[in-house]
Amino acid sequence: MFERIAILGAGLIGASIALAARESGAARAVIMFDRDPDVRNRAHALGLGEIADSAEAAVAGAELVVLAMPVGAMVEAMAAIGPALAPGAIVTDVGSVKRSVAEALAPLAPPHAFLIPGHPIAGTEHSGPEAGFASLFKGRWHILTPLADARPEYAAAVEKLAAFWCALGANVEQMTPARHDVVLAVTSHLPHLIAFNIVAMAEDLESVTESEVVKYSASGFRDFTRIAASDPTMWRDVFLHNRDAVLEVLGRFSEDLAALQRAIRWGEGDALYDLFDRARRMRREVIEAGQDTPTPNWGRDEPQ
């Protein structure tokens, strides 16, 4: 599909793309760069691909360039590689925010390259090149948010990029960057924010010690610690770059939580029951859609 692809950023996502692209045959050669020399060495030791000495060197001659770094680092990277991009090169990214990325990167892309922002709905709570694995994108959604570019060559590039992600096992959807940011604020950004909040809060309590929280965490709390273990740099950038959509849905969450708080204070059992019962139905839909396993406790408590 591609003779040569460049991946800038060798974390969980970049490493997984490298492994999946070669395993699937979607790319013959994978060139990687990471601005952290230690990460470059580890990516080299893992055999993820050829390691370049600079972002410019990595993208030279590449037909596809993937920005696999925190959203806040993308402008600098794009400015650096712009002049080095080959004619007809496709540039995409894997950031969890799309509107600010598209707006900031578009002016930096040379006219002979095709910028097509994207976001794989895949990941784990682990970080770094060692966390990558080839099947990460299998059966997961990949959202592309193409720019308003009417050239037929641009449309062809979008098709080619979609085919690349399909080859890695993903199902590809298209939407506008603004739509993406609203949807992900609900499904991803707010859940992570409240997980970070409850975990940090528990650490600060005076009434209950941290060791008690850890000891009895299997009663619910431990679920939140998993998503709160995600990369802090990546998440800082998400909240800085998707501020408006996150604040809007967070306002709604707080409003509903205040109503729930009031129902508890006044002992409104029926209202509590109805709300809890509705929440249960959503679980069934998630499982029917193939987005989670029906195994109790995700199977993590199975006897070893």
Q: Find the binding residues for a copy of itself in span 258-277 (CB under 8 A).
A: 258, 260-261, 264-265, 267, 269, 272-273, 275-277
Which of these segments, 47-55, 97-105, 150-158, 193-201, binds a copy of itself (CB under 8 A)? 193-201
> How many other CB atoms are there within 10 angstroms of residue 296's CB atom?
9
Which of these segments, 57-65, 74-82, 149-157, 251-259, binds a copy of itself (CB under 8 A)? 251-259
Q: Does position 76 bind a copy of itself by CB under 8 A?
A: no
Strands (E), the chain: 2-8, 27-33, 50-51, 64-67, 90-93, 114-115, 118-120, 141-144, 171-174
Q: Which is nearer to a copy of itself, 88 or 232 (CB)?
A: 232
Q: Which is nearer to a copy of itself, 44 or 226 (CB)?
A: 226
Alpha-carbon distance of 63 to 86, in angstroms, equals 7
Alpha-carbon distance of 32 to 44, in angstroms, equals 9
Structure tokens at 251: 């306002």
Strand, coil or helix: 119: strand
Site residues (CB under 8 A) for a copy of itself, limited to 220-249: 220-230, 232-233, 235-236, 239-240, 243, 246-249
Query: Closest approach of Cβ 302 to a copy of itself, in Å?
Result: 8
Alpha-carbon distance of 138 to 253, in angstroms, equals 32
Q: CA angle, 254 as apex, 253 and 260 as ends, to 5°?
A: 90
Q: Which is nearer to a copy of itself, 114 or 239 (CB)?
A: 239
Q: Does position 187 bind a copy of itself by CB under 8 A?
A: yes
Q: Which is nearer to a copy of itself, 73 or 86 (CB)?
A: 73
Q: Which is nearer to a copy of itself, 88 or 251 (CB)?
A: 251
β-pairing verdict for 141-144 and 118-120: antiparallel
Of the candidates 107, 100, 64, 108, the residue with the CA atom closest to the CA atom of residue 83: 108
Q: Which is nearer to a copy of itself, 4 or 142 (CB)?
A: 142
Q: Judge residue 87's burial from the number of C-beta atoms within 10 Å of its C-beta, 0-12 exposed, 13-18 middle, 19 or more buried.
A: exposed
Q: Which is nearer to a copy of itself, 147 or 234 (CB)?
A: 234
> How many other CB atoms are there within 10 angstroms of residue 130's CB atom?
14
Q: Does position 201 bind a copy of itself by CB under 8 A?
A: yes
Site residues (CB under 8 A) for a copy of itself, limited to 138-167: 138, 140-141, 143
Site residues (CB under 8 A) for a copy of itself, limited to 16-45: none
Alpha-carbon distance of 38 to 130, in angstroms, equals 12
Q: What character string, x for contact with a copy of itself (CB under 8 A) and - otherwise, covers 93-132?
A: ---x------------------------xxxxxx----x-
